Structure formats: structure tokens, C-alpha cells
A and B are shown apart, each in its own frame.
Chain A
Amino acid sequence: QKEVEQNSGPLSVPEGAIASLNCTYSDRGSQSFFWYRQYSGKSPELIMFIYSNGDKEDGRFTAQLNKASQYVSLLIRDSQPSDSATYLCAVDSGGSYIPTFGRGTSLIVHP
């Protein structure tokens, strides 16, 4: 059973702060890692993907992957109220091409 674990939150941060979202996964064979943002009542939107150990930056977003610890994180710098959403972590084992999702972490950025 492939599992992806996220703290459901909510994680509350002030505007301008760094939000740190974490995810662990059970399948050591996992090769592809994704972060999706989901606003209430909307569908998930892909915002980051990472395949190699280390950091990957895209604008205010940084994804961090540590395969040895089976841990992936998303940092959001200069958080804005518009970043308030649920952030879903997804993992696929490469061979399957089927992303398995965590339950998501609710992020609230307050002014």
C-alpha cells in the first residue's frame, strides 16, 4: 500500500512569511514528486514537480526532495493571502505513472 502523509493543518502564517509544507511517502521506489494547489471548490492545479534530490526553485516556490528520508517539502516565500489554499502532495513510483495523493495541508495566510 503506497502512502503519502501530510499534516492536514491548518497552517497559519502571516503575510510576507515563509510557509513550509511537508510530505512523507512510504514507497522507496518513488521517483516523481508533485505539489498541487487546490482552492476551495476547484480542481487541483500543478504548481511544482521534482525528480532529483535537492532543491528546485520556481519564483516564490521551492520544492525540496530527500529520497533517503522519504521526505518532500514545499516552501512558499513572501506568502500572500492569495496563497491560502489546500496544498496536495503527490508521488508516483515512475513505473506506474499513477500519482498517489496525500490528503492535503490547508494553508491560511492572514494579512
Chain B
Amino acid sequence: DTGVSQDPRHKITKRGQNVTFRCDPISEHNRLYWYRQTLGQGPEFLTYFQNEAQLEKSRLLSDRFSAERPKGSFSTLEIQRTEQGDSAMYLCASSLEHEAFFGQGTRLTVV
């Protein structure tokens, strides 16, 4: 399968714990995005990388969230000191030009 891959698919964590998600984009894609989606809403932009450079980060994004893309390949999204409001589907997408393709997502539940 040469699509976007995310790991884990599901994560349940206790409030206050740190979590890290991984995204492996389509191999030739230089652009990588993280979005968050809650029930009944569209995907909400979190951050964007072109190669290894983080070019854009949502102003709504708390400083508890950090993302990296070392060497311009896979990316990680870390959430520190999780809160119940962080419960959502975290989606990664990648693109070569304008068309972005999504992974399966990581569903986070904070209890």
C-alpha cells in the first residue's frame, strides 16, 4: 500500500498524559499536513510542512501541540498534557502539488 499511513489508529489516554502520533506520507510527496476533526465538523488545519520545514501553524493551536518532520519524510505530532477537549480524529495528509490525500487517521480519546 503506497498511501498515507498513520499510527496508531486508535489511542485512549488519561488526561494529563503525553501522546505522539506518526504519519508516513506518500513517498514522493513533499507537502505534509496535520488536521483535527471532531464530530459534525470539517477537518481543522493544525500545521503544514514543505519537506522538513514547518511553514505554517494554526494560530488556534495550543503550545501543548508540537510537530516535526525530520529529514522531510515521516512526521510526528505530539500533544503534551492532554485534555478532554483534545479528543478528536487526527488526520495527516500529503500532497505533491495541490491535491491532498489523507491517511486513515488516529482517533484520540482522552478520559
Please report A residues at the B interface, Cβ cutoff 8 Å: 4, 6, 8, 32, 34, 36, 42-46, 49, 51, 88, 90, 92, 94, 96-104
* Given known A8-B40, A103-B40, contact A97–B91 (CB-CB < 8 A): no
Closest to B89 in A: A43
**Cα distance, A101 to B31, chains bound together (Å):** 17
Please report B residues at the A interface, Cβ cutoff 8 Å: 31, 33, 35, 40-45, 48, 50, 56, 89, 91, 95, 98-105
A98 B48 Cβ-Cβ under 8 A: yes
Top 6 A-B pairs, shortest CB-CB distance? A101-B42, A32-B98, A43-B102, A103-B42, A43-B105, A101-B43
**Cα distance, A34 to B102, chains bound together (Å):** 13
* Given known A98-B56, A103-B42, A104-B42, contact A43–B33 (CB-CB < 8 A): no
Which of A92, A96, A99 has most chain B Cβ within 10 Å? Answer: A99
A46 B100 Cβ-Cβ under 8 A: yes
The residues of A that contact B40 with a CB separation of less than 8 Å are: 8, 103
The residues of A that contact B42 with a CB separation of less than 8 Å are: 4, 6, 88, 90, 101-104
The residues of A that contact B91 with a CB separation of less than 8 Å are: 43-44
A98 B33 Cβ-Cβ under 8 A: yes
**Cα distance, A12 to B35, chains bound together (Å):** 28
**Cα distance, A17 to B69, chains bound together (Å):** 45
